[in-house]
Structure 1
Amino acid sequence: MAYEARPSTDQVAAPLLRGGDDDPQSAQSHSPGPSMSRRIANVVQEPLTGLTKVLLVEVLILLLISSVFIGLFAGAQHKLNLRNGAPGGGDGGGGGNATQTETRTATVTHTNTRTRTTTAAASTIISGIVTTTATATTTAVSTALSTVFDPTTTTKIATTTATKTSVYTSISTQTTTDVHTRTVIVGPEPTGPPSDPSPAPSDKCLTPDCIILAASILSSLDTSQDPCENFYDFANGGWIETHPIPGDKGAVNSFSVLSEQNAQVILKLLEDDSSIQDDSWDDQLLRKIHITYTSCMDETRLDYLGQEPLQKFVNTIRKFYRGKNYAYIMNPRQGLSDALGYLHSQGVDALFEFTIEGDAGADPNNMILWFSQPSLGLPSKEYYKDKNVITVYQDVIERLLSSLRDDEVLSQENAEIILQTEQLEDSEHVWPPWPWPPWDGDGDDDNEDGRERSPGDPFQNSRELAQKVVKFETEIAEATLDLDKLQQDPFGTYNPTSINTLKSQLSQINFPDYFATFTPRAFPNRVIITYKPYPSSLSEILKRTPADVIEAYLVVRASLEYAPNLGQTTEAWKAVRTLQETLYGFKPGVVGERSQFCMTKVDAALGFATGRYFVNQTFPGESRKKATDVIDNIIDAFESSLRRIEWMDEESARKAGEKAEALRVKVGFPLSPDTRDPRSLVSYYTRVKVHVDTFFDNVLSAASSDMYKMWQKVGKQRNLDEWEMTPATVNAYYNPPANEIVFPAGILQPPFFSQSWPGYLSYGSFGMVAAHELTHAFDSSGRLYNQQGKLEEWWSRQTSDAYQIRQDCIVEQYNSYTVDDGKGGLIHVNGNLTSGENIGDSGLIQAYRAWKAQYEDSYEAGKEYLLPGLSYTREQLFFISFARTWAMNNKPADAVRRVRSDPHSPNRYRTEGTVSNIPEFAEAFKCSKYAKLNPPKEKRCIFWS
């Protein structure tokens, strides 16, 4: 198949500003009440009012005065402890024996002013002139007053006040000024050698950023859980408790939370149009972004227009299908070809889908047509067997068809509706004359529910027509390839053939005319079919389906895609919302913030443009360098591990190393269109036409522009500077035919990444993401592409057989996991569908090894510092950081949808299933040999040892 790059999470999958289909299970148990550290963590993150700030200043003064008395008391207490043999405090770093030292009192005031300017690496500059004509400047002032406690004592350690001002001047330049004032109550000098030395002063970080980071980790934990038994709940129980699922979403997770944070960066830009004053390149971009957003936010205008925009859209489909004489279907074959061409050009797939990707079997860089099965109205085949869902779906279709009636034909009550038929190519079957034969060709002129049809109604009856559309779509679903085979079998989904062969298999489509919809250029004669039987199966379905049912199906496909862009008072919007409530678990009647929805639409329409300003604000050059270093170290760790893999022969290991070395690594933002150059972005979006009063048409214009750009790639060489994700997307992906791993700036933000974080956190979170994408190059399907991206069995037979044993192991492991369906039943995870992603997750061990390999140098450079208030080792915090990236809270309906259609396992199992296969996890937490997450070696599915 045209292998689509698979991200680390589904994103419907969390792309920037996507309004929500993510999430997880609730924590199974929680502690009876928040701990002292939890309460402190919550206080640290609360905003300060003006009165609070005044009071806190007074507290600081009193603290300074009382420091002497505290010192005297501490010294006396210390002597009493020595006399009574009481132990001293721990270091907060976890694990060691605590020591007791004499307390001395001191006041240390430290002021540091620092200005730094960083410029992106020269390697990112391409030929040509790059001009920034508008400077984006923001000033952020944050004040934090934090009181930190060592968890093993009740002694106050430090009080910190900080003011931070940042000014970002361009996409590649950052100037930062920090002023820190810290008052510290210094501990006593040791009276003798401690039994277990506390870490050096540089080991513990007490800056406001470190305090906030520590508080974030503390607040996410549920320490009542045993990490060796329920690690997901241990690491995320607190997070789940404090992140209830909004009524308008089926889930909330760490990806969606960060997406909303990223959205706020763009939202501030959109809500202030005062800087748009002239016709500079940046102003042209900003104006188009602002108009798109404003048109979406104008709900009064949308309600005034009602369903008119969608009605016009579906009537255009009908006109293409019926031909020049609107009351006749003059030529069903030509009409269907024209209607499909129009519908596909607007970004709606129906009956089938064409994508453009490299020819993986011949030349991966030669972009070629791939013919694929379509998306369905429901997420997967299984839903068409679910009577409850089908009942809702059929009702939604009926409401759509009733509200989008063909008024132009209905007004001709006395007109004779004639459908002419034509002989189809390569078939003696004639398209059924409409409205005869009746619905099932049985001569029965009544509805299935026994009611008589209304005479003069060219659609007969919306309810009956809805039933037929569901039946038609069910037949299409049954003719499609199962998702697990579609995802995991690149050889089986690569079936090159000629356009002439496709034409003969699917004779109901006039392909030359269809192709002319997109471009007048001559097309190559070669096409790749992802599922060989599908064209012929679709042809048979079309032969036995009445023309009006096919037309209604096209109308429904268009409505499901575009009705959400109408006002919320319209019947079509309400109907589609009902389906979303069933599939995702949305609370009926609850609608989220309009700004979030509109940000999703702006990103979908103009994501590379908004990405420019997001990168300007959030992604300094040092972040790009640090992220690239992490990725490079993980690739090095993987290459080193190849020499130790017992099941891989030497020649296969050598080739695997060459593929890893050949990976193209892309970090931050794309160069085509060039995120740094507003002229490049203006040119890229020149076909997107927007107007402040026509939100629906704005969305159509953006979709049409995207399809036009896609079809322009046919027959050309791959553009290596293009990305499949926009810069602010919270995700990452591996693309096998291009052999590239891509990390947008959107995911290079806390809680996934920060250039200032200690190594054990960076490698546990973002390092996991990087290792996951790297491992996709060697997962169940990725391993079948060589270093040039070409399909090839490049491993020896012995190595492939050994790999298959491990793949079967992980399939069986994940098949055993279940989710609650919300109805008292359990649904099993599909281990075949998720095997590629589960193998990708096994790459966590590479992130761990990469961190360990650079630890000594990182420690010497002061980059492995400890955080206050955390009594865990660095190794434990590595795994906690990993687990926190999968924090999720979701509703049963959403969990069921994901299990049926998502190649990613539920987040609980992405966490616990992964660490149970890594012995280093059990060693870090000193798990018993009987613990659930410390299985014996023979029950582990280990790939990379």
Structure 2
Amino acid sequence: MPGCNVLAAAAASGMRCNGNARSLTMESMCKVAASKHDKRQESQLPTTSTTSTTTSTGCGLGIDERTGRLHWCPGYRFVKILFVIPAAMLPIGLLFLLLSRFQVVGSVGLGCGGEVGSFAEESPLGGNVLDGDGFEWLDQTTTMTNGEQLCQPISKGLGESVDTEDRGLLRDIVRTSFIPAERRVFPAGCLPRESPQPERSQVPVRRRRGLAKRSLSWIDDSRSSPESIRAAQVEIMRQYMDLQADPCEDFYQYACGNWDRVNPIPKDKAALDTFELLRESLDLVLKNLLLGEESASSSTVGEEELGVPEVGNALSTVRSKTTTTTTTTTADPSLDVPLHRVRKRVRRWRRRKGKRAVQNKLIIRTTQVKRVRKSVPPSRIKVNMTETDDAETKARHLFVSCMNYELIEKRGLEPLRALLDSFGGWPLLDPTWNDTGFDWLNLTAHIRRYNNDVLIVEWVGPDIKNSDENIVQFDQTTLGLPTREYYLQPANRKYLDAYREFMVEVIELLGVPPDTARRATDEMIEFEVQLANITNPPEERNNVSTLYRKLILENLHDEVPEIDWTRYLAIVTERPVNASDFVVMFAMGYMQDLVELIGQTESRIVANYLLWRFVRHRINNLDDRFLGAKQRFSNALFGREKNPPRWKNCVTQVNANMGMAVGAMFVRRYFDENSKKDTLTMTHELQEAFREILAQTEWIDAATKRLAEQKVNAMSLRIGYPNFILSQADLNARYATLTVHPERYFENTLAVLSHIRRSDQEKLGQVVNKTAWHTAPAVVNAYYSRNKNQIMFPAGILQPPFYHRHFPRSINYGGIGVVIGHELTHGFDDKGRLFDRDGNLYRWWSDGAIEAFHERAACLVQQYGRYTIDEIGVQLDGETTQGENIADNGGIKQAFLAYTKWLAAQTDPRVLALETLPGLNVTNTQLFFLNFAQIWCGAMRPEATRNKLKTAVHSPGRFRVIGTLSNSEDFAREYRCPVGSHMNPADKCSVW
């Protein structure tokens, strides 16, 4: 056929052209040439001889059938002009060429079969430009990429616990979060994964959107009308719903039944839910801020990011030309560039950065996140390369040093060896090491100065029985694996073996002979198993009153004389310590067993173990060999095959450790102050709703009610961000003692850890600042602090689907309103009720109220304990999740009451008319519950679910919806569910 002749001619002339090609380089030119040739041949069939040269009165490519070569038609106007116009017009011609340099065709292609259709355009790098996908460059492969940052089994920021309220015991008794903490012991993304979902249940790759684009952007675009915002939300909500499901039988299926189809779990994740989509979007925004690209949108990834601005310009043209699919073959003026010039430009582009640069920039959009590059050159980031007092510049320095993999690789083991030498050497690396003068307590204290807790967990924070006083507190150790059960239960032997192999591989990479490495590892594993055995299991630590012991150091010396507590604290705090100073101990029995275990163990083994626990975190700052070893351990432990790009881990580290500096950039650029005002107003409304519910509660006596009302009135509210971050002087002062260099990632890590530890210890002797923030503003979560009686809503959560100023109030109350009620109820759950209005652990409930509370809480424990996750055949633990279940049930009741009171106060019919969303066919009150349910849409791989349930305090999203709504009279009434249906059982559980 004619089209095939053209393609063959193109191939003969040295151009790559095949039926499957979709490149914007030579391939698309071939197809367009074929398109034009066929159209001319069809129009000239009656008069044109088959032996003559192809001609056309229009502009375009022709084919000389005598030679079979593709060439410009003799009558081509643009060529004539260039040769006829005098030399004086030459500049105009050059200008025209420059302007049209990167004009490329739309989506028109013609195959050998002669059928006209659309095809996905590619950049010269080979990446498909998927419609609507503006966030990630994705890769379909599953092989590990060198230089990728890996899952950190002990992770919060740089691998250490950097927020005292998230450490050990306090994570359970001091602060609770609306969703599982982002910086948990094992990130959700690191959990095991099973076989991929069936392809038939997944959206085709080309229809799949970037993670950040699967939810409505919270960046308030002034060009977006309220109508367009609402219309977008309708589309998002409707695509998740299963309209065939009965909302009175399974409301989660009704609200989220299509989630798996729309959002299949990427191969680099163990789970994907609404919160993960929001974090993906937020991470990209933070990356752009750290790069100094404050004008970048969260919804697009500019190709300039890759250091290829010309390709970015070309792809911008592609996007502008491929918004619709066309079936015409009319000649396009943008093709008016001779083929030899096209070839020249492609060759010039390929030479531009060199072969290695091109390979590093290779990006393929498919179904998985792929690291774009190992590092970002310092020139990409708008920072000075010298020391600075500016906090935001320090954050950017930390980010660029993390991204500069080439330099990290070049420095090798030098920084680590210098650090180990400062500790007196590591026996594993020093054959001449002897235990003369070895002091395990001294080494433990110096490791603690880098914010690492090994053997002894120590921090300075509010005394839970006197919340105005900061005091030194001690607790039992953390371990190398998530829980003690990983060491002690035979069923977990495979995880312990994986940990062992990981240790051996790392030690060998440090230059230790294999036999020596394995022998030393076996000794350390044996020691850690014994260490796990002397830690108290979680079920023995539920009653904090029995664990709490406040005493002076002198008395602590009497209890555990083998430990010189005064000397330990003097090293850690870098200040004089008196034997009369008070401390709090939560693990006295453990400390006594610890010194006995150390006394029975060789000093060399103890030294090896202490430094192993420290080196384990530091390999995050080393080259790919060590990260590869860690990946293999993570894969064996959690089944994770693919990792996020390096930049995402670097963003997480910077935000975790310099969160206020990052938050300042975020708030100034993106935060809408109206959301702060609205949230504050809604919080006051929720407090009023709780007071009304409390007044109607019959199982609490009047005296306890009065104290409970005083507590809810005394709750302090922290919304958005702390004001000091917008003061450059105050922000700089917070990081004044921190020095960060853009080319010293290893040293920067140590400097950040030391800074966090100093900031923690400096609180000793100071009155507790109950207005202080301990959470970065740019996070997607919400918190309640028990010993501060404080609710905190960071700026990162004030975004869709929780809140938008153009949303109906029904959605906002069903979103952020429920979050507010959830956190407020935490002040009165199974642990929160133990603390009074001032945040002190105090028995302020009457005996009768306590008994009635336990009776109602037991109902929830039994209800959630009956739920079974069918995929793995495991029942929920209603006991460990009862605090969150109480908060969920109380929060939605308060939020709906507050919403109905707001409705009753409205007199303008135009306001009420905006309370529904056209196209969803639900009432405004039904929309409230629908948005609440869709907040918990998500999916998790079976093995990930199995592991998460071992330590989870939150129920899975499905049961946060079903459990909460099946207890709601309001829900049953608004959806008209008959009594006895699954979502409206006759017997319901209720605490608040």
TM-score (norm 1): 0.71
Distance change (3 Å), C-alpha of 1:255 and 1:899: same
* Other-structure match for 2:105: none
Counterparts in 2 of 1:243-392, with a 5 A limit?
243-272=263-292, 284-319=390-425, 327-332=433-438, 335-361=439-465, 363-384=466-487, 385=489, 386-392=492-498
CA deviations 1:473-506 (Å, max 9, x no partner) are 22222322333554x4332332212223333444
Q: CA deviation at 1:793?
A: 1.4
CA deviations 1:547-584 (Å, max 9, x no partner) are 222222223322332322323x22x3223223322444
Q: CA deviation at 1:662?
A: 0.6
Distance change (3 Å), C-alpha of 1:222 and 1:340: same
Q: Tell me, what secondary structure is at the counterpart of 2:725?
A: coil
Q: Tell me, what secondary structure is at the counterpart of 1:350?
A: coil
- Largest Rg, 1 or 2: 2
- Is the contact between residue 217 and residue 800 of structure 2 (CA under 8 Å) also seen in structure 1? no
Distance change (3 Å), C-alpha of 1:30 and 1:920: farther
Q: CA deviation at 1:469?
A: 2.2
Q: CA deviation at 1:875?
A: 2.1
Distance change (3 Å), C-alpha of 1:787 and 1:214: same
Aligned equivalents of 2:429 and 2:196: distance in 1?
58
Could you tell which deviates more after superposition, 237-246 or 880-889?
A: 237-246
* Other-structure match for 2:652: 600
Q: Tell me, what secondary structure is at the counterpart of 1:793?
A: coil
Are 1:550 and 2:606 counterparts? yes
Q: Tell me, what secondary structure is at the counterpart of 2:791?
A: strand
Distance change (3 Å), C-alpha of 1:893 and 1:581: farther
- Is the contact between residue 388 and residue 394 of structure 2 (CA under 8 Å) also seen in structure 1? no
Distance change (3 Å), C-alpha of 1:382 and 1:916: farther
* Other-structure match for 1:188: none
Distance change (3 Å), C-alpha of 1:737 and 1:26: farther
- Is the contact between residue 916 and residue 935 of structure 1 (CA under 8 Å) also seen in structure 2? yes
Q: Tell me, what secondary structure is at the counterpart of 2:425?
A: helix
Aligned equivalents of 1:179 and 1:775: distance in 2?
36
Counterpart code for 1:808: A
User: Please, which of 206, 210, 217 is the counterpart of residue 237 of structure 2?
Assistant: 217
* Other-structure match for 1:478: 533
Distance change (3 Å), C-alpha of 1:908 and 1:263: same
Q: CA deviation at 1:785?
A: 0.6
Aligned equivalents of 1:14 and 1:388: distance in 2?
22
* Other-structure match for 1:536: 592
* Other-structure match for 2:314: none
* Other-structure match for 1:862: 911
Aligned equivalents of 2:976 and 2:615: distance in 1?
56
- Is the contact between residue 500 and residue 522 of structure 2 (CA under 8 Å) also seen in structure 1? yes
Could you tell which deviates more after superposition, 618-627 or 536-545?
A: 536-545
Distance change (3 Å), C-alpha of 1:41 and 1:576: closer
Aligned equivalents of 2:188 and 2:884: distance in 1?
24
Aligned equivalents of 2:657 and 2:201: distance in 1?
47
Counterpart code for 1:352: I
Aligned equivalents of 1:629 and 1:25: distance in 2?
45
Q: Tell me, what secondary structure is at the counterpart of 1:539?
A: helix
Listed as ranges, the gaps of 5+ residues in structure 1 are: 48-139, 143-163, 167-175, 181-204, 407-456
* Other-structure match for 1:661: 713
- Is the contact between residue 229 and residue 806 of structure 2 (CA under 8 Å) also seen in structure 1? no
Q: Tell me, what secondary structure is at the counterpart of 1:366?
A: strand
* Other-structure match for 1:498: 552
- Is the contact between residue 734 and residue 742 of structure 1 (CA under 8 Å) also seen in structure 2? yes
Aligned equivalents of 2:188 and 2:868: distance in 1?
26
Aligned equivalents of 2:220 and 2:794: distance in 1?
25
Counterpart code for 1:358: P
Q: CA deviation at 1:634?
A: 0.8
Counterpart code for 2:463: D
CA deviations 1:335-379 (Å, max 9, x no partner) are 212211121121221112112221222x21101111112222111
Distance change (3 Å), C-alpha of 1:474 and 1:876: farther
* Other-structure match for 2:941: 891
Distance change (3 Å), C-alpha of 1:764 and 1:165: closer
Distance change (3 Å), C-alpha of 1:14 and 1:623: farther
Distance change (3 Å), C-alpha of 1:23 and 1:398: closer
Aligned equivalents of 1:325 and 1:712: distance in 2?
39
- Is the contact between residue 249 and residue 584 of structure 1 (CA under 8 Å) also seen in structure 2? no
Aligned equivalents of 1:899 and 1:514: distance in 2?
37
Aligned equivalents of 1:734 and 1:165: distance in 2?
27
Q: CA deviation at 1:42?
A: 8.7
Q: Tell me, what secondary structure is at the counterpart of 1:803?
A: helix
Aligned equivalents of 1:165 and 1:753: distance in 2?
12
User: Please, which of 564, 575, 582 is the counterpart of residue 510 of structure 1?
Assistant: 564
- Is the contact between residue 560 and residue 576 of structure 1 (CA under 8 Å) also seen in structure 2? no
Q: Tell me, what secondary structure is at the counterpart of 1:528?
A: strand
Aligned equivalents of 1:354 and 1:678: distance in 2?
32
Aligned equivalents of 2:882 and 2:539: distance in 1?
9
Q: CA deviation at 1:711?
A: 0.6
Aligned equivalents of 2:643 and 2:563: distance in 1?
41
Aligned equivalents of 1:661 and 1:510: distance in 2?
45
Q: Tell me, what secondary structure is at the counterpart of 1:675?
A: helix
Q: Tell me, what secondary structure is at the counterpart of 1:266?
A: helix
Could you tell which deviates more after superposition, 548-557 or 731-740?
A: 548-557
Distance change (3 Å), C-alpha of 1:275 and 1:32: closer
Counterparts in 2 of 1:79-90, with a 5 A limit?
none
* Other-structure match for 1:10: 180
Q: Tell me, what secondary structure is at the counterpart of 1:348?
A: coil
- Is the contact between residue 258 and residue 730 of structure 1 (CA under 8 Å) also seen in structure 2? yes
Q: CA deviation at 1:326?
A: 6.8
- Is the contact between residue 189 and residue 271 of structure 2 (CA under 8 Å) also seen in structure 1? yes
User: Please, which of 859, 862, 880 is the counterpart of residue 833 of structure 1?
Assistant: 880
* Other-structure match for 2:140: none
Counterpart code for 1:862: V
- Is the contact between residue 759 and residue 858 of structure 1 (CA under 8 Å) also seen in structure 2? no
Aligned equivalents of 1:689 and 1:40: distance in 2?
47
Counterparts in 2 of 1:387-402, with a 5 A limit?
387-402=493-508
Q: CA deviation at 1:508?
A: 4.2
Counterpart code for 1:598: C
Aligned equivalents of 2:805 and 2:196: distance in 1?
31
* Other-structure match for 1:198: none
- Is the contact between residue 739 and residue 751 of structure 2 (CA under 8 Å) also seen in structure 1? yes
* Other-structure match for 1:242: 262
* Other-structure match for 2:889: 842
Q: Tell me, what secondary structure is at the counterpart of 2:726?
A: coil
Q: CA deviation at 1:393?
A: 1.4
- Is the contact between residue 916 and residue 927 of structure 2 (CA under 8 Å) also seen in structure 1? no
RMSD value, Cα: 3.7
Aligned equivalents of 1:928 and 1:647: distance in 2?
28
Distance change (3 Å), C-alpha of 1:165 and 1:795: closer
- Is the contact between residue 784 and residue 792 of structure 2 (CA under 8 Å) also seen in structure 1? yes
* Other-structure match for 2:583: 527
Q: CA deviation at 1:249?
A: 2.8
Q: CA deviation at 1:250?
A: 2.4
Q: CA deviation at 1:684?
A: 1.0
Q: CA deviation at 1:754?
A: 1.6
- Is the contact between residue 220 and residue 670 of structure 2 (CA under 8 Å) also seen in structure 1? no
Distance change (3 Å), C-alpha of 1:275 and 1:547: closer
Counterpart code for 2:792: V
Identity %: 27
Q: Tell me, what secondary structure is at the counterpart of 1:943?
A: coil
- Is the contact between residue 18 and residue 600 of structure 1 (CA under 8 Å) also seen in structure 2? no
Distance change (3 Å), C-alpha of 1:319 and 1:559: closer
Could you tell which deviates more after superposition, 543-552 or 742-751?
A: 543-552
Counterparts in 2 of 1:620-639, with a 5 A limit?
620-639=672-691
* Other-structure match for 1:427: none
